[in-house]
Amino acid sequence: MNAPSPNDYEYNDEETFLDESDIINEYDVDVEELPDADEEGDSHGDDDGDDDSEGVDHSIHIFTGHTGELYTAVCSPTNAALVATGGGDDKGFLWKISHGDWAFELQGHQDSVSSLSFSADGQFLASGSLDGVVKVWDMAKGELKCTLEGADGGIVWVRWHPKRHLVLAGLENSLVCMWDPDRAPYVDVLSGHASSVTCGDFTPDGRKICTGSDDATLRIKDLETSKVNVVKGHSYHSEGLTCLTINSDSTLVLTGSTDGSVHVVNLSTGKVVSSLMEHSGSVEFAAFEPSSGRHSWKAATGGLDKKLIIWDQYSSLRCICYHEEGVTCLLWLSKYVACGCLDGKIWIWDSLSGNCARIFSGHSDAIQSITASSNGDFLVSVSLDGTARVFETAEFK
């Protein structure tokens, strides 16, 4: 039975008394189990209950080698302890989880390190900077392999080909560059966008490149035929793209925009197959669930409207998870989704039930990037507070 509303009662100035006939149930209460009067209730799910307290830090390791804001982090796909971070101090670092005194500086950049990416085999790390240079680092030798130049514009993001040693980068000057690090001077320049290339990647099968731009277009290039599909217009985004994600069988790409819209595009035809319109603010990050294919997919999007939204192919909107501040980044942890937020907190959500399973505190400023160790035991986050923090996530594998 629903609880009565205050409007269901009429009040007057006369005193009201209860007698035994008004009693519905009686319960014995252990006074020692009652919370103190100054304790606040927790309305966000099954977490520690102290996540809203000032000064709480759930991290097990803090890396403080940087001297400025941090923007990017990535874990090695083959070494569960190895992490790379980069930021506004023009530096990148390699360091190891639970090895507080071990760090290797990625030296040589002249501006902010904006993006980092490990090759699929873990042999190399690419660091991209707003100085327009990508550096490739040899993990086995612990040294610089080569410097990839010729971009002539700040690097926004870098990605590795899933099967070959090719590096792809999106630039502020509207270009996309691709290098073969074994032939460092060689560069393939892909033009067509009219503004900064904000997001992009190879498809998992390595056959196509998808890039999104501030010009509100998505470009899909087939590397074998050089054919390009351009997605734009009234049925697509009206403002710049902020993020994209590609499903596991390379058939669909999902994109988000500052206009709050989310669209799913068929990679073969370049046609919009689904438009998802539940966000009310800029969509900052999107990720397909790792197992998502053509016939069954699930995806997560997070935005400045303080929402994480779980979508699936059958019901479109599966659930909406609300945060205290805007969502800046997210990743899948098995059936869970981890969200980094502007308030420095990381929320872990059950994608099936829509319940919050955990809130990690520790950062004092906005989180810019989160990444998971290859064994799933740890989550690493970087923040504008100048620190990288490690949290235990084995329970969410």
For 157, the 3-state DSSP assignment is: strand
Q: What's residue 54's pLDDT? A: 63
Instruction: Judge whether residue 115 has pLDDT over 90.
Output: yes
For 338-371, b where at least 16 C-beta lie within 10 A, e where not — what string?
Answer: bbbbbbbbbbbbbbeeeebbbbbbbbeebbbbbb
pLDDT at 7 over 60: no
Higher-confidence position of 351 and 100:
351
Q: What percent of the chain has pLDDT over 90?
A: 81
Residue 397, token pair as written in the block: 């594998």
* Ramachandran assignment for 161, one of left (phi > 0), alpha (psi -120 to 50 degrees), beta (any other): beta
> Is 0.75 topped by the overall pTM?
yes
Show the tokens assigned to 81: 């302890």
Lowest average pLDDT, out of 7-16, 235-244, 308-317, goes to 7-16
Per-residue pLDDT averaged across 137-165, rounded?
Answer: 96
Q: Give yes or no for residue 74 having a pLDDT over 70.
A: yes
Report pLDDT digits (tens) over 376-385.
999 999 999 9
pLDDT beyond 70 at 10: no
Beta bridge partners of 329: 340
Whether residue 285 contacts residue 328, with contact meaning beta carbons closer than 8 Å, is answered with yes
Separation between Cα atoms, residue 208 and residue 333, nearest integer Å: 26
